[in-house]
Amino acid sequence: MAPRDVLKRLAFSAAVLGLLGLAVASLPGLDEIRDRLGGAGPGWLIAALALELGSCLAFVVAFRAVLADRLPWRTSYEVGMAVQGTNVLLPAGGASGLAVGAWALRRLGQPSERLTARTIAFFLITSSVNFVTAILAGFALALGLLPSDLPVSLTAGPAALAVLAIGVVLVAPRVLPRTLGAGVLEARALVRSGSLCVIAGAVGYMALDIAALAAAFAAIGDVPPVGVLLLGYVLGQLGGLVPLPGGVGGADSGVIGALFLYGTPLGEAAAAVLAYRAFQLGLPALLGSLALLRLPSATSAASATPRPAG
């Protein structure tokens, strides 16, 4: 992606976020949200920012462990952060960022066959954390291990669907095309290897993001019960599949709607999610754009540096 295109995309995303902020600040009927945002605790907002930064860095750790383990840490950071920035600027369910990462890694000499399988594996590993979270939180709520008065359809239901999805992925290599099947097998091998960077990076990427959302709630008012927060988060993220910059609108309404469905007051959920999304979108957009601008020179310099064999 050319630097001019990066700046255009960044400006467009900033405009979308600005319009969203203007709407919250001026539209009638949003007084409660404005009041809650205006009274947000600065200490908790700083905590949300720090946690979101930790989530971005955890993504880089997992990305390097799966896709860029042969590269220096600095180069891995540039590529991994560029992937996150692209996912905000060019929304496509995460595919656009991985395409940029694949382009950069090919320039750095990654073999195409290994790169394709590992790209699929990375997507599956990071996505599986959401499904596992839905399973644990859903069944914990349904069985009374976490406090809840929610119907079973809203607790065990999503958990059962997540179990089904994981089961489909586990048997997929037998029926999928060779390339996709190889990616599934690669993901299983990476998880079974017990690599701390793979597992801790993938888990930390999501866990710290949820913690940032919890900090935003603490800044606004009360944090929802942990089971509600976890299920509302993982189900609401499906809204991010809507092709808007960073999922703006889709992911926001998805998480707000899911949390409201699980009993969180609507005004509180809306204010907290909007505060959280300012960090969740703004930080990767800023750091990712800087990485994208540096990526051509970073990949050229790294590819020109001799690396020891093996």
Q: From CA 111, how far away is CA 264, in angstroms rounded? A: 48
Rounded to two decimals, the pTM is: 0.84
pLDDT at 310: 42
How is residue 40 written in tokens?
């947000």
The amino acid at residue 270 is A
Task: Quote the CA–CA distance of 120 and 67 in Å, as a whole number.
Answer: 10
Token pair of 177 as six digits: 């095309």
End-to-end CA distance of the chain: 31
Q: Which pLDDT belongs to residue 34?
A: 64
Residue corresponding to tokens 């860029």? 68
Per residue, the 3-state secondary structure of the chain, as one string, reads CCHHHHHHHHHHHHHHHHHHHHHHHHCCCCHHHHHHHHCCCHHHHHHHHHHHHHHHHHHHHHHHHHHCCCCCHHHHHHHHHHHHHHHHHCCCCCHHHHHHHHHHHHHCCCCHHHHHHHHHHHHHHHHHHHHHHHHHHHHHHHCCCCCCCCCHHHHHHHHHHHHHHHHHHHHHHHCCCHHHHHHHHHHHHHHHCCCHHHHHHHHHHHHHHHHHHHHHHHHHCCCCCHHHHHHHHHHHHHHHHCCCHHHCCHHHHHHHHHHHHCCCCHHHHHHHHHHHHHHHHHHHHHHHHHHHHHHHHHHHHHHHCCCCCC
Q: What is the mean pLDDT of each run of 10 residues along the chain (310 residues)?
A: 56 57 50 69 94 97 92 91 84 72 86 87 93 95 91 93 90 76 91 94 97 95 93 81 51 84 89 89 88 80 54
Burial environment of residue 153 by CB neighbours within 10 A (0 to 12, 13 to 18, 19 or more): exposed
pLDDT at 232: 92
Q: What is the reported pLDDT for 26?
A: 46
pLDDT reported for residue 9: 59
Instruction: Answer yes or no: are the C-beta atoms of 26 and 34 closer than 8 Å.
Output: no
CA-based nearest residue to 239, from 225, 223, 256, 216: 256
